[in-house]
Structure 1
Amino acid sequence: MADHHDRTFSAFLFDMDGTIVNSLAVVNRVWAEWAVRHGVEVEGFLRTMHGIRAAENIRRLGLAGIDIEREVAAVTLAEMADVDGILAIEGAAEFLAALPPDRWAIVTSAPRELALKRLAAAKLPVPAVFVTADDVRNGKPAPDCFLLAAERLGVAIRDCLVFEDAPAGIEAAEAADAAVMVVTAAHSHAFDTAHPTIAGYAVLLPTPDGEAGLRLSRAA
């Protein structure tokens, strides 16, 4: 499988949680508490809920008598109140700083206010193009969010490289017809994927290619 070092891209699109921000401990703490309160088996739920919007995670459980909007609001408040242990993925800050401002975007399943809080906790920048759960009707694994980011950047999605960590996000990027790089830094076990993987960004250098192109090269 090619590792994308032989391609020129118009833009890089980054998921947030697990991709540039390690928030796994917070997410698992908050959602485990929520699952226990509602009688949901914790381990299985946490294994499948990452990368998906909160409302869709709750809706697919089919719990009786649940007010989804109220539950989402409560979970979001709990996540916003807990930033303990949130850090940038290794090398992410330097990698993002090396990119032209109009050639990258963050595309996250988190609501905007929560995403801003986590980026601040991780000391990472907010890009000009910032697509959140609030911006699309259909969340990941639908491709809508990545298509919107490419549109806002003014580039073709097929010329974008998506950095993702979760199955739902990878499926969304594939459905959008983007190239994919899987970030494994926040994974606690081996991740089976046909896409190239990186454990962190210290191994990569973004390099300009012409007026509007980006390439990846290996760090020395």
Structure 2
Amino acid sequence: MTEHDLFPGKAFDAFLFDMDGTILTSIIAAERVWTLWAQKHGLDVGKFLATIHGVQTIETIRRQNLPGVDPVEEARWVTSREMEDTQGIDPIPGAIAFLNSLPADRWAIVTSASRDLALRRIRTAGLPLPGLLITAEDAPNGKPAPDCFLLGAQRLGFEAKNCVVFEDAPAGIRAGEAAGASVVVITTTHTHAVDVPHPTVPGYEALEARRMADGRLSLLGRDTA
């Protein structure tokens, strides 16, 4: 087994994790709820489902430009059903051990979900609760805007440019880039190859965060041969 540095010569102040598709998988549950919503509004379900990932619920609804639809009320409908439907929510491989290995003051979860839904899914997946959780209520300008990652870094006491963002969805990747952070793309839930100028890993089983003497973190990958 050999180790390699995902970002050679660099160490980081903190790690910022997206939630859905990055540290847990909720695609099956989310798509069940969104399928019902799309059918209710006469949308092409296949095309629509491809647009929901990594974006705030209310923004997904607004983008449909449906006449006579109140995005706030519809978002409440979607969220209430997502709170009820937790079947198939599981941790991404290796995520529990990796998060537990991190110093508590050096990581946060930064998600487009509401706070209640995020807490429900984190607990359902058996993941450790972070000391800092940034949700849709904290950063109204959702991904791909960088606001949530900038805020997460700031509340941890650092600058985003000195952090690593862990993401899976295009909107989140763009948000991490716009924040000036280094980005790692988690591909567990991807069905197609991704073309990004960032390290890509299927999960966390081959990752190690190593704490430096100054408290910063390096990020190592392990190759098996």
Q: TM-score, normalised by structure 1?
A: 0.96
Given the alignment of the two structures, is residue 173 of structure 1 paired with residue 182 of structure 2, yes or no? no
Deviation (angstroms), 1:6: 3.5
Which residue number in structure 2 is paired with residue 125 of structure 1? 128
For each residue in 1:18-57, what CA deviation from the matched residue of structure 2 results, as whole angstroms up to 9, or x when unmatched? 0001111011111111111101111111112200000000
Contact 2:6 2:220 in 1 (8 A): no
Aligned in 2, Cα 1:121/1:5: closer, same or farther, shift over 3 Å?
A: farther
Which residue number in structure 1 is paired with residue 211 of structure 2? 208
Question: Bigger shift: 209-218 or 27-36?
Answer: 209-218
Q: What amino acid maps onto 2:39 in structure 1?
A: V
Q: What amino acid maps onto 2:10 in structure 1?
A: R
> In structure 2, the residue corresponding to 1:34 is in which secondary structure?
helix
Q: What amino acid maps onto 1:19 in structure 2?
A: T
Q: After the TM superposition, which segments of 4 or more aligned residues of structure 1 sit over 6 Å from their partners?
A: none
Deviation (angstroms), 1:5: 4.6
Given the alignment of the two structures, is residue 3 of structure 1 paired with residue 9 of structure 2, yes or no? no
Given the alignment of the two structures, is residue 149 of structure 1 paired with residue 152 of structure 2, yes or no? yes
1:42 alignment partner, one of 39, 42, 45: 45
Which residue number in structure 2 is paired with residue 64 of structure 1? 67
Which residue number in structure 1 is paired with residue 118 of structure 2? 115
Which whole-Å CA distance do the structure 1 matches of 2:219 and 2:9 have between them? 8
For each residue in 1:160-181, what CA deviation from the matched residue of structure 2 results, as whole angstroms up to 9, or x when unmatched? 0000000000011111100100
> In structure 2, the residue corresponding to 1:133 is in which secondary structure?
coil
Which whole-Å CA distance do the structure 1 matches of 2:9 and 2:74 have between them? 46
Which residue number in structure 1 is paired with residue 80 of structure 2? 77
CA RMSD of aligned residues (A): 1.2
For each residue in 1:119-146, what CA deviation from the matched residue of structure 2 results, as whole angstroms up to 9, or x when unmatched? 0110001111110001012011100000
Which residue number in structure 1 is paired with residue 16 of structure 2? 13
Which whole-Å CA distance do the structure 1 matches of 2:196 and 2:39 have between them? 31
In structure 1, stretches of 5+ residues that fail to align are none
For each residue in 1:93-134, what CA deviation from the matched residue of structure 2 results, as whole angstroms up to 9, or x when unmatched? 000000000000000000000000000110001111110001
Q: TM-score, normalised by structure 2?
A: 0.94
Structure number having the greater helix percentage? 1
Which whole-Å CA distance do the structure 1 matches of 2:77 and 2:177 have between them? 32
Which whole-Å CA distance do the structure 1 matches of 2:155 and 2:102 have between them? 17
Contact 1:5 1:217 in 2 (8 A): no
Contact 1:105 1:129 in 2 (8 A): yes
Given the alignment of the two structures, is residue 24 of structure 1 paired with residue 34 of structure 2, yes or no? no
